[in-house]
Each structure stands twice: as C-alpha cells, then as structure tokens.
Amino acid sequence: MNVVAGAAGGSTIVTVSTGSIRVHQSTAADLKAQVAQASTVWAVQSAQVGTWNIGTVTTVSSVAGVVKAQQNSTVWNVQARLFDGVSNALVSATSNPSSNAQALAVRPVIHTLLTYSASTTGQSSATTIISSNATTRGKVFAYSITSTLAGPVEWGIYNGATRLWGGVLAAPSSAISGVNLAVSPPAYLFANSTGAALTFNVASSNTGLNVSLAYWLST
C-alpha cells in the first residue's frame, strides 16, 4: 500500500508492506494524508437512504475482509434482493407480470375475530351491529338468523342506507324458521363501508329476530 503524506500539496510517498502506520501531528496540516491500494482496486461509496445521508453510492468490487458501516441516524434503511428456496429471484412489480413470475407463499393477516348476538335484533327500529368507523370496515363471514314468528317477516342487513343481504322468515305453528351461512375467513359474505354502520332491520315493528354474526375488521 502506498501512502502520500505531508502538508497540503505534499508528495512524499511511503511504501508499506506489513505492520501499521501511526501519524504524529505537529501541525494541523501534518494529518493530511491520501491512502491508495497498491494492487486490486476497490471502491466504497455510500448513498443517501431515507434519513441516512452519506452522499455517494456504494460499490465494492473486491475487498479482502469485512466492510463495516457506522450508523449515522436512528433508522437503518436497507435495499436487498430476495431469492426463494431454489435461488429464483423475487422481483416486485406494480402490475401482473406476463410470464416467469416468482412469488412467496403467504397467508393474510386477519385481525381479531369478533361476534354479535342478540335475541331481539331489529325490534321497532334498526339495530347497529358494527358501528361506523372512518378507517375500518367490518367483514361478516358467518351469520345465523332464527324466528318463532308466524310471519312472514322480511329482514335485511344494511350498509348505511344500502341493503346488502336479506330474506323472509315464517315459522309454522310452534316451530322455528331460520337461515345460516358461513365461509372461512379471510373470505367474507358482505361488509360495510368506512364511515357507514352495518345495521339489521325488519319490515314490521316489534318483530325482533334472533341474530348472531361473526366478523373481522379490515383497514
């Protein structure tokens, strides 16, 4: 390794094969030194990533040993390529690729499963099942609705003022009528919109039905 040392504009060259170099300062200018690799050329440059600002771009062609970087902020931002178990590169895209697509097998993250259940839902007026929220919506994946009323009783589930689901129940004398349906989450049957409540109501007053629903909240 060659070391160019000395004051500003100095040109003294010292060749070092083994050992270490210690710089002794007598003036401020004495510490100015330029170090260049004598054989294989390698370059280390650093780029700005997020709040970590170093200034240039990092490229390493050949380095014997380990290159270390010191964190300059509280956040590390790293850009990396992903490969699957058989060394196929996983490349992100904003649209469906036409061919040769590689992907990871993933499962969706579902929020806590919630339930609603009451024996007089929709009695006299609409019953709120999932309250309106500006950022989340409830996705119903199972329901059971039963009645002992001779009826017929028309019922509906509403997203705000829009009817999403409904039916008519009529129980024979001393019997029960009902409906139920379920799918496995993350699939769902229907959902309310952000900013609108999910409600249940019947066409006649004072004819509340026995209603149970299972749902989860999605952002």
| pLDDT one-digit tens code per residue, 110-160 | 788 999 999 999 988 999 999 999 999 999 999 999 999 887 999 999 999
pLDDT of amino acid 74: 66
84, 133: one domain: no
Q: How many domains does the chain have?
A: 2
DSSP code, position 3: E
Average pLDDT on 65-78 reads 63
Residue 211 pairs in a beta bridge with: 118, 145
pTM comes to 0.53
131, 204: one domain: yes
Q: What confidence tier does 67 reach under pLDDT thresholds 50, 70, 90?
A: low
133, 212: one domain: yes
Most confident of 64-73, 137-146, 203-212: 137-146
Which CATH number covers residue 168? 2.60.120
Any domain includes 9: yes
DSSP code, position 121: E
Q: What confidence tier does 162 reach under pLDDT thresholds 50, 70, 90?
A: very high
Any domain includes 71: no
pLDDT of amino acid 52: 47
Q: Which has the higher per-residue pLDDT, 13 or 134? A: 134
For residues 129 and 118, give the distance between their C-alpha atoms in angstroms, rounded to a whole number. 10
Most confident of 32-46, 70-84, 101-115: 101-115
- Residue 210 clears pLDDT 90, i.e. is over it: yes
- The mean-pLDDT minimum among 40-44, 64-68, 124-128, 169-173 falls in 40-44
Q: Which has the higher per-residue pLDDT, 75 or 130? A: 130
Domain membership of residue 15 as a residue range = 1-63+77-89
pLDDT of amino acid 38: 57
Q: What confidence tier does 59 reach under pLDDT thresholds 50, 70, 90?
A: low
How far is it between the farthest Cα atoms of the chain?
A: 110
pLDDT of amino acid 45: 47
pLDDT of amino acid 219: 82
What's the CA dihedral at 7, 10, 16, 19 to 10 degrees? 0
132, 196: one domain: yes
119, 214: one domain: yes
CB atoms within 10 A of CB 139: 22
Any domain includes 107: no
Any domain includes 70: no
Average pLDDT on 15-20 reads 67
Gyration radius of the chain over CA positions: 35
137, 44: one domain: no
Average pLDDT on 51-79 reads 58
Mean pLDDT score of the chain:
78
What are all long-range contacts of 74-80, with beta carbons under 8 Å and residues at least 24 apart?
75/50, 75/51, 76/52, 77/49, 77/50, 77/51, 77/52, 78/49, 79/49
119, 206: one domain: yes
Any domain includes 94: no
82, 147: one domain: no
State how far Cα 65 lies from the chain centre. 37
